[in-house]
Amino acid sequence: MRPVAALLLGGLISCCDGGGTASAQAAETSQAVESPADSVRRDDASVQPAHAVDSPSVLFAAGVFALVEAYDYPYSVGVTYVARPLTTWHLAPGAGFAVGPDGIAFMYVDLRRDFALGERWYVTPNLSTGWFINGDVIGPQDHLEFQTGIMFARRFDNGLRLGLAGLHISNGGLEHPNNGTEAVLLTLQVPLQK
């Protein structure tokens, strides 16, 4: 019997009987009865394990530090520790570093938030600030730099996320000239809890 039918039957019995016991029994019956839709919803929850979304993780990234031909498209490799989301806004703090050729390096603290696009896709904006070492002058001139970015990623059953990130690094207008650079990275995010 479907839960809706059980509730209607319980309501009808309670109206005719005038007692509260029949409606309580009907409510228990409706909770005990499971529809196929309920089991599907429970299965969907198992497809999206909690560790894939809310656990601390390590984000590996590799790509291009500067999308400018004059700089010869220097490579970038990096790693970021992403903590468990905090506050009611689900902001995840983190810290990381990226390195490139000729002494380029960026060490930073990070804040990001996941937004789900369906069951398996995520868009994640982030804001970072840190210490930039410009080994081969790719754009940013100051040591204090800010990084803004957005990442699109797909989550797999084991919790791994494979994505593509676009980043902008500049001094945020604190100094002039405000030279900056853009980076494009492939990312792999690995949850630390199974």
Sign of CA dihedral 127, 128, 129, 131: negative
Task: Output the pLDDT for position 128.
Answer: 95
Asked whether 162 and 156 are in contact (CB, 8 A), the reply is yes
Task: Output the pLDDT for position 65.
Answer: 83
In whole angstroms, how large is the CA radius of gyration of the chain? Answer: 26
Identify any residues that bridge with 85 across adjacent strands, giving them in sequence order: none
Task: Output the pLDDT for position 68.
Answer: 72
Distance CA(56)–CA(160), nearest Å, equals 12
Using CB atoms within 10 A of its CB, is residue 50 exposed (0-12), middle (13-18) or buried (19+)? exposed
Task: Output the pLDDT for position 140.
Answer: 56
Distance CA(194)–CA(192), nearest Å, equals 7
pLDDT by position in tens, the chain (length 194): 444 444 444 544 444 444 444 444 444 444 444 445 544 444 444 444 444 467 899 999 999 987 777 677 788 999 999 999 998 899 999 999 999 888 888 999 999 999 999 889 999 999 999 998 876 665 555 678 889 999 999 999 999 999 999 999 887 777 676 667 789 999 999 999 86
Asked whether 157 and 47 are in contact (CB, 8 A), the reply is yes
Q: Which tokens belong to 184?
A: 């494009």
Task: Output the pLDDT for position 135.
Answer: 66
What angle in degrees, to the nearest 10, is found between the helix axes of 20-32 and 3-17?
170
Asked whether 185 and 63 are in contact (CB, 8 A), the reply is yes
Domains of the chain: 3-47 (no CATH), 54-191 (2.40.160.20)
pTM (predicted TM-score): 0.68
Q: Which tokens belong to 68?
A: 């400018």
Residue 125 CB: number of other CB atoms within 10 A?
13
Task: Output the pLDDT for position 46.
Answer: 42
